Amino acid sequence: MPGTVAAMTSLDDFARSKLAILEARKERRTLIPTARREGPVLERNGRRYISFSCNDYLNLATHPVVVEAALEALKEHGAGAGASRLITGSHPLYDALESRLARLKGSEAALVFGSGYLANIGIVPALVGADDLILVDELAHACLLAGTRLSGAREIRFPHNDMASLSDSLAKARSQHRHCLILTDGVFSMDGDLAPLPEMVTLAEQHDGWLMTDDAHGLGVLGGGRGSSFAFGPEKLAVPLQMGTLSKAVGGYGGYLCASASVIDLLKSRARSFVYSTGLPPATLAGAIAALDFIAANPEYVARPLARARQFTTALNLPAAQSPVVPVVLGASDKALAAMTALTERGFIVTAIRPPTVPAGTARLRVTFTAQHSEDHVLALVDAIRRDVLVPA
């Protein structure tokens, strides 16, 4: 067809020019074929490694209890959902999964989405719009920021975990808007620190703001497995919107929101990423149910990832870990990439995180800990980092 060759040539030229820029900035990403084995073990090119880069904090993705539940559901119900839940009907396994999520998180109801990203780009625009205000932590996950942009609401980003700034913004801007949504990660995925939720709950209540936490990295590992809303004491904090994923400590896939029954009912009609997405496969639902049952029944196992993270931070004289995520900030992207390569040669997979995922000048190793990391695994990693990464200038 006329113009097709020229269009393809200009498209490829565009792609190559962008790739060259990314290459120069050390920001080009590549995919490495990698097979997951038992616990924290990965295999690449016939060699096995100990991974400190996985969000499967409880190693439930390969746990026999979870795998068997998924297999049984696969045999009984087939491989796929067929359509959205509103079209083909809501599989009975959804009721079981959502009731378990609501019970674990101390809410009236829950709604499962296709992924955490789909959850956030559906929830936020369904709750606020052009006449409303969103206050969001500057280091919040990209999907919270995407949901914010899609909503059309006025956006104010406050400095990371800065409650004085959040309070000041609420005092100045809240009265100008119909509704106000306050967004934060419960556990920040690149820094591993917690949002100061007790203070945020107080500020939200004082200004009639709706607080929403993205607890992707809190569920299953903090607060006895119940997440960041339970990490500050024996009682649940009054966080009305507890969002999270089933792809980290739960070991599977999907996202969810735990909230009041009326909010959940509204989202079933208004969250576009729910209404217009095919449901999750039955095996994924069954695996998540088994994982949540395991989390509720095994508090000592649930406590292991944080314990291993604190063993690591103590050994390297780093600030005490608040979650299973520990950053080793190195600054320049090439330094982080070199550190990752050196650790790989010693048998460890630890991913280098670079801009734009993290702010410029804060490239890092993102070290994550799981329940099946042994103390010896952690000590061996500490030794490798001392030898190859934190070498005195």
> Which positions are annotated as active-site residues?
189, 217, 248
Q: Two tokens at 160?
A: 């990371």
| Closest to 72 in 3D by CA, of 240, 290, 294, 257 | 290
SS3 at position 384? helix
Q: Two tokens at 81?
A: 């959902």
SS3 at position 177? coil
| Exposure string for 47-62, b = 16+ CB within 10 A, e = fewer | eebbbbbbbbbbbbbb
Residue pair 75/312 in contact by the 8 Å Cβ criterion? no
CA 322 from chain centre, in angstroms, equals 15
Taking 3-state DSSP, the helix, strand and coil percentages for the chain, each rounded to the nearest 5, stand at 45, 15, 35
Helix (H) or strand (E) holding 256: strand 255-259
| Closest to 170 in 3D by CA, of 140, 141, 211 | 211
Residue pair 97/288 in contact by the 8 Å Cβ criterion? yes
